[in-house]
Amino acid sequence: MTYLVQEQLKPHGLKGISDDQIEEHWALYKGYVGNTNGLLAELAQAGAGTRHWAELKRRAGFEWNGMVLHEYYFGNLAAGVQMNRRGALAERLAHGWRTVEAWQEDFVKTGMIRGIGWAILYHDPLTDSLFNWWVSEHEVNHPAGLNPILVLDVFEHAYMVDHGAGGRSQYITAFMDNVSWGAVQQRFADSRARKAVSRFAAAA
């Protein structure tokens, strides 16, 4: 299996996130796709149980999640969008946090946690619960069995071009202004229906 760069996910014309910033970030995503393919090819040739094989196994989560999380991230961004405060997702957010605004404040603060990684809104399809979760780097602290609904990259490479090393807060504000709620709501609906949550669907 060879994984391909998902060109249909690349956003343009975002508010507060320049096309130059997207180009820099997109190049890193392409690197993760290439590294994932290379690592899987090496694993297929490596002798099971060898030190080289074990090291490849250790690296696999970093490269794989670096690829996949970027696909979710780019796929939940679009120009000219507005938050939908009605519908099943908004109702569930309000159920968990009392108001959609309270959920958003919690999500933004999750993204401001010190460190490099991701803020992710996860859905548990077994309990219909939603969680704002911090993931370190790409592979540390993922909640097993939950589906990613909204994915925010807070590595410095996501905002350095536009906002500098200290500009995470401004970047997160811009991110929230560009969330494709249509894409996020579709992920939520798929997770509720126990379907695979597609990371290849372009933002609507």
pLDDT tens digits in sequence order for the chain, 204 residues long:
899 999 999 999 999 999 999 999 999 999 999 999 999 999 888 878 888 899 989 889 999 999 999 999 999 999 998 887 789 999 999 999 999 999 999 999 999 999 999 999 999 999 999 999 999 999 999 999 999 999 999 999 999 999 999 999 999 999 999 999 999 999 999 999 987 777 777 655
> Model-level pTM?
0.94
DSSP β-ladder status, 129-136 and 147-153 = unpaired
Q: Is the residue at 3 inside a domain?
A: no
Exposure class string for 26-44: b at 16+ Cβ within 10 A, else e = beebeebbebbbebbeeee
Which CATH number is 30's domain given? 3.55.40.20
Q: Is the residue at 125 inside a domain?
A: yes
Q: How many domains does the chain have?
A: 1
Beta-strand ranges (E) seen in 12-53 are: none
Q: What whole-number distance in Å separates Cα of residue 47 and Cα of residue 44?
A: 8
Q: Is the residue at 101 inside a domain?
A: yes
Q: Residue 179 carries which side chain, given as an amino acid letter?
A: V
Q: Is the residue at 164 inside a domain?
A: yes
Q: In what order do the strands lie in the sheet with 117-124?
A: 129-136, 117-124, 147-153
- If you search the block for the tokens 């309000």, which residue do you land on? 94
Whether the Cβ atoms of residue 105 and residue 131 lie closer than 8 Å to each other: no
